[in-house]
Structure 1
Amino acid sequence: MSALLEVTDISVSHGKVLAVQGVCLQVKPGAIATVIGPNGAGKTTLLNALMGLLPCSGGMRLEGRDITGDGVEERVEQGLCLVAEKRELFGEMSVADNLLLGAYSRRRVRDGSREEDLGDVYDRFPRLRERRNQLAGTLSGGERQMLAIARALMARPKLLMLDEPSLGLAPLIVREVFAIVRSLRDAGVSILIVEQNARAALQVADHGYVLEAGSIVMEGPAADLAADRRLIETYLGFGGKPGETPEAAARAGTTVQ
């Protein structure tokens, strides 16, 4: 199966500091890929470069088309969408208005598809329907993350990129958010997740990459990485054992159902 996204030798510098070096990765159509690694490894920098928010060297192709020289707006129009680590919601606007802004790239379309997509989003996120007239700034952390993902879906992305979707959320809400991510994959949405929560990310992903000091040091099927002794000791922490059951993982940390 050919890659939906193909990234080749991406490097990003912050002044004289090389934050990301020679990263190559792929995301298959209808699959979830994850990039895990410690804080400061360059994960967010990598996503920002892929979105066109930071200058970089290397190459990037989406559905076989070279988008390396495209700007942010062009990448959005081509089907890339990033849910930033800080959600970047408009707190003084309602939930419904935030969602409609997600379809801004389709603002000239007058076929009623935006209203149809809004209904689909409310069906997927019933809590947002209940709070559609509420100001986004008054939502809980989990609700804000749901709104950020839902707003991105309004752009009809070919590839949804999520930066630390579990950040600052309680374990129960983390499980709920990752269950939503899995359901999106089952509905055919391709997803690239950057995460510090290695356990949760590998449980939902099809393929994983480990980023350390700006470079990919390991990659492979997510299930294989989750069973790797070095990875367990470094990232999965207390209780991690090769082949442990979901029940054991739940006792040790966050488990996605």
Structure 2
Amino acid sequence: MMNLLTVSDLEVFYGKVQALQPTAINVDMGKIVTVIGPNGAGKSTMLNAIAGALPATGSQTGNVLFSGQNLVGVAIEKRVAVGMSLVPEKRELFASMKVEDNLLLGSYRRYQAGEKEYADQMRVVYDLFPRLKERRQQQAGTLSGGERQMLALGRALMAKPRLLMLDEPSLGLAPLIVKEIFQIIQRLKQTGVAILLVEQNARAALQVADYGYVLETGAVVLEGAASDLAEDQRVVDTYLGLTKK
């Protein structure tokens, strides 16, 4: 299996406060890798550092290799251009714009690059999310929480990413919608895109992932095949409760 993303010795600071200790993770092509852990563990910080989306108060050291290219110091727009797409925790949709226009914005980089078929992913997105097709003329702000998450995922897919990074996709959603979102994440894997999934819902994340990392207080404390982590007593006791159902 060919490696797509290699992160090594990644550290993040906010001023003098260390938010992420030296961290190493890998994502292979076409695989789902999850990072689980409690709130405040540094999961989103790690994801934003990889994506080049740290706030101005943050600084980072270490290496972020994507297909062998070191992206440290590279702007987020150029990271998108080489095949990275981030779906942020807050989704950051344009509420007053139509669903379809939000999706088209996801392919803007491809349009700028002169790709004639820059909107060709629209069919893929509508196949994955039929509800978005039904609501394509609605304003994004009128969608339900689950539909907004679908729109955020769809917009990221419009860029034709090789790596899709998801920050807490289940946050604030009802249990039935969470189940649907994770079913969609499983289907996304069939398209060949690799996924780096940051998630507090450890049970759901480990069910869809191939490999996992446990992050606590800014450090990776455990890693392994997702199926093994789901059986690890430390993970069961801390994140999955008393049963493994």
Bin for the TM-score computed over the shorter chain: over 0.9
C-alpha deviations, 1:129-169, integer Å up to 9, x for none? 00000000110010000000000000011100000000011
Contact 2:119 2:158 in 1 (8 A): no
Of 71, 80, 85 in structure 1, the residue corresponding to residue 84 of structure 2 is 80
Counterpart residue number, 1:12:
12
Gaps of 5+ in 2: none
Amino acid of the structure 2 residue aligned with 1:197: N
2:183 is equivalent to residue 179 of structure 1:
yes
Of 149, 156, 161 in structure 1, the residue corresponding to residue 153 of structure 2 is 149
Contact 2:189 2:195 in 1 (8 A): yes
Deviation at 1:65, TM superposition (A): 1.3
Deviation at 1:110, TM superposition (A): 5.1
Counterpart residue number, 1:255:
none
C-alpha deviations, 1:56-84, integer Å up to 9, x for none? 10001111111122111111111111000
Q: How far apart in 2 are the matches of 1:184 and 1:27?
A: 15
Counterpart residue number, 1:245:
none
Aligned length: 241
Amino acid of the structure 1 residue aligned with 2:40: G
Amino acid of the structure 2 residue aligned with 1:5: L
* Equivalence map 1:207-218=2 (5 Å): 207-218=211-222
Counterpart residue number, 1:122:
126
C-alpha deviations, 1:186-211, integer Å up to 9, x for none? 22110000000000000000000000
* Equivalence map 1:1-257=2 (5 Å): 1-54=1-54, 55-109=59-113, 112-240=116-244, 249=245
C-alpha deviations, 1:21-63, integer Å up to 9, x for none? 1010000000000000000000011111111122310001111
Task: Give the 3-state SS of the residue equivalent to 1:47 in structure 2.
Answer: helix
Q: How far apart in 2 are the matches of 1:111 and 1:65?
A: 23
Deviation at 1:88, TM superposition (A): 0.5
Amino acid of the structure 2 residue aligned with 1:195: E
Q: TM-score, normalised by structure 1?
A: 0.91
Q: How far apart in 2 are the matches of 1:56 and 1:35?
A: 19
Amino acid of the structure 1 residue aligned with 2:98: S
RMSD: 1.1
Deviation at 1:173, TM superposition (A): 0.6
Runs of 4+ in 1 over 2 A off after TM superposition: 108-112
Task: Give the 3-state SS of the residue equivalent to 1:115 in structure 2.
Answer: coil
Q: How far apart in 2 are the matches of 1:114 and 1:58?
A: 34
Amino acid of the structure 1 residue aligned with 2:25: L
C-alpha deviations, 1:91-149, integer Å up to 9, x for none? 01000000000011112355542332112211221100000000001100100000000
Closer/same/farther in 2, CA of residues 24 and 121 from structure 1, 3 Å limit: same
Task: Give the 3-state SS of the residue equivalent to 2:118 in structure 1.
Answer: helix
C-alpha deviations, 1:213-232, integer Å up to 9, x for none? 00000000000000001110
Q: Determine what percentage of the aligned residue pairs are the same residue.
A: 59
Gaps of 5+ in 1: 241-248, 250-257
